[in-house]
Amino acid sequence: KVTGYQSFEQAQVCSGGVDTTQVNARTLESTRNSGLYFAGELLDIDGKCGGYNLQWAWSTGILAGRSAAKIIREGGDSL
């Protein structure tokens, strides 16, 4: 039973972000706006405390960055 709440600064879980159905899971590129990539807490993903959110941020940052760099290297017009 919830009996109260703390300030936003004390929050352990925040919800919201870009719906993952609108993102290519292999590249993290938006399916609505080519050339737009998402990572970390910009995506609507919730995780447990204890480093999981940090790992998600690092991993998705690497994937989104590599995906964007690949488009540039290949001379694509997404960016």
Residue-level pLDDT at 49: 67
Measured between alpha carbons, how far is 54 from 60 in angstroms, rounded to an integer? 10
CA distance linking residue 7 with residue 14, whole number of Å = 12
Does the pTM surpass 0.85? The reply is no
DSSP bridge pairs for 23 = 30
Which residues fall within 8 angstroms of residue 16, CB to CB, at 6 or more apart?
44
Q: Are 19 and 38 in contact (CB under 8 A)?
A: no
Q: Which of 47, 41, 39 lies closest to 64 in space, CA to CA?
A: 39
Per-residue pLDDT for the chain (79 aa), expressed as one digit of tens each? 889 888 877 767 667 899 999 999 999 999 999 999 999 989 998 776 667 888 999 999 999 999 999 999 998 765 4
